[in-house]
Each structure stands twice: as structure tokens, then as C-alpha cells.
Amino acid sequence: MQLFLVRHANSNFGASTDHQRPLSQLGLKQAAQSAEYLKQSIQSTDVHIICSDALRTKTTALIIQQHIKAVNITSNNIYYNARVGEWCDGISTHKSVGNLILVGHNPTMSSLSMHLNPTLVQRFNPSCVAHYELEIQADGLKLPAQLKDFFKPDAI
């Protein structure tokens, strides 16, 4: 499986709740850059996106979906405050998918990235993408995953 961890793009503060924070103008540019990177990196139509149900992650996921023509987005509240183990469970349940994109929040995206392969020491800024090649076995994820690339948008 090709696994892509994406931190949501830059968001505005000032919404009535943290869940309702929209992307900023900078965030919209960042998300488009990350989506273009993903479009160039994914060579298949077998793509699924999982994200938290926060507005900023859903918007980032929708921008990615528009660029790469991914068919499915799964948005779930469990991924809003998910721990690494919950994200790993989500990955495992999609083991038949060729390309899986996870759009989430920090510090969890950084922690998940370090769990998959502790060699990544980059800061996981908004809209950054970590690309892994990952094998899923009957008893779970085969670690460490192979870090293929780390993308950082120009608009940071």
C-alpha cells in the first residue's frame, strides 16, 4: 500500500468551535499544492481518503479529492482526537486499498509518522505530506514502513 499522511492546511482562528475552523486563504493555496503533489505521486485510481470530521480537514480532503479524482472520502469524528493506535486501526481496515490518504491534525500526524518510521524528523507543518510504502500483514502493520518522500508546500 502507498500511504500518505497529510496534515490539514493552514486554518483561520475565530470560529465558534475548533471543529468549525475554516481554511485560510494561505491554507487553500497549501492544500492545492499538496493535492498537486499527490496527483503526481499516485499512479492509480485506487485511492481512498480518511479524515477527521473537522471542517479544515474535510476541506483539505475535498481539495485533494478534486485534484486526484479519488472516489471515496471517509470522514469520522473518531479521527478528530485519535491516537496513533486508532489511525493504525483505520489503516489496517483499508488493507485492500492501493493508495490511502490520511488527513489529520498535529501532533497526531507527527506521532503517527514517527511510529511508522522513526527516521522522519521533519516538522509536520500545515499541508505537509509524508509518503510511505507500507505492508499490512494479518497481525497488523509491518514496521518500519519505507519512507518514500516528504513534501512541504511552498506556501508555508
More confident of the two residues 155 and 16? 16
pLDDT score of 144 more than 90: yes
Is domain 2-151 given the CATH code 3.30.450.90 in the classification?
no
Question: What pLDDT sits at residue 155?
Answer: 65
Q: Nearest to residue 59, comparing CAs of 98, 14, 92, 20?
A: 20
pLDDT confidence tier of residue 120, bands split at 50, 70 and 90? confident
Question: What pLDDT sits at residue 108?
Answer: 93
Residue 91: beta bridge partners?
Answer: none
Sequence spans of domains, the chain: 2-151
More confident of the two residues 86 and 119? 86
pLDDT confidence tier of residue 41, bands split at 50, 70 and 90? very high
H or E stretch at 64: helix 55-68
CA atoms within 13 A on the CB side of 20: 4
Q: Output the CA–CA distances (angstroms, integers) from residue 38 to 17, 142, 155, in the order listed.
A: 30, 23, 16
- Mean pLDDT for 42-55 is 93
Q: Nearest to residue 18, comparing CAs of 92, 81, 88?
A: 81
Question: What pLDDT sits at residue 43?
Answer: 85
pLDDT score of 147 more than 80: yes
Q: What integer best gives the mean pLDDT of the chain? A: 93
Question: What pLDDT sits at residue 156?
Answer: 62
More confident of the two residues 118 and 70? 118
| Digit-coded pLDDT (tens) for 6-38 | 999 999 887 788 899 999 999 999 999 999 999
Tally of CB atoms within 10 A around 68: 21
Specify the long-range contacts of residues 10-16, CB closer than 8 Å, at least 24 apart.
Answer: 10/126, 10/127, 11/56, 11/126, 15/55
Angle at 25 between CA 20 and CA 73, to 5 degrees: 55
| Digit-coded pLDDT (tens) for 51-69 | 999 999 999 999 999 999 7
> Is residue 139 exposed (0-12), middle (13-18) or buried (19+ Cβ within 10 Å)?
exposed
